[in-house]
């Protein structure tokens, strides 16, 4: 008999730093899965991406087993990392706080391509460019 999916939980955790404390414990504790097992498996799977914030989807089955899928870091995180910013503009596109090059934009778009709703790299670049613009980051050639 196939396992029945009873819950899907989404949250973001720093790579390689999952612990049973919040936010992992508060999100997964009520679901009844083994928190130390999740933390160990997640940390082992993401050890090579240390320092990045990673979205994760946890699929919980009726026998309290689980699977998880790690996605690419959020576009805003990648843009701030490329522009060497600690935080984005509080006034959006009206206040320029940093800049990235077109090459960096393409690199971010290629990394996010699997998670974006775009058919080609140019469309993905436009999506990422819009995010950057709304963060107060300009694109320079």
Give pTM, 2 decimals: 0.84
Q: What is the pLDDT of residues 50-88, one digit of tens each?
A: 888 999 999 999 888 899 999 999 999 999 999 999 888
* pLDDT above 70 coverage of the chain, percent: 99
Q: What is the pLDDT of residue 70?
A: 93
The whole-angstrom separation of Cα 16 and Cα 18 is: 6
Domains and CATH numbers, the chain: 5-70 (3.30.1550.10), 75-140 (1.10.10.250)
């Amino acid at each position: 008999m196939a396992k029945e999916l009873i819950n899907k939980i989404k949250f973001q955790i720093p790579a390689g730093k999952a612990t049973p404390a919040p936010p992992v414990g508060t999100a997964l504790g009520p679901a009844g899965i083994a928190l130390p097992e999740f933390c160990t498996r997640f940390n082992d799977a993401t050890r090579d991406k240390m320092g990045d914030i990673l979205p994760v989807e946890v699929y919980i089955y009726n026998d309290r087993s689980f699977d998880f899928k790690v996605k690419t870091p959020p576009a805003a995180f990648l843009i701030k990392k490329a522009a060497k910013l600690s935080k984005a503009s509080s006034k959006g596109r009206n206040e320029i706080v940093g800049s990235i090059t077109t090459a960096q934009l393409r690199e971010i778009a290629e990394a996010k391509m699997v998670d974006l709703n775009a058919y080609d790299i140019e469309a993905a670049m436009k999506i990422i460019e819009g995010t950057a613009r709304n963060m107060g980051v300009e694109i320079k050639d």
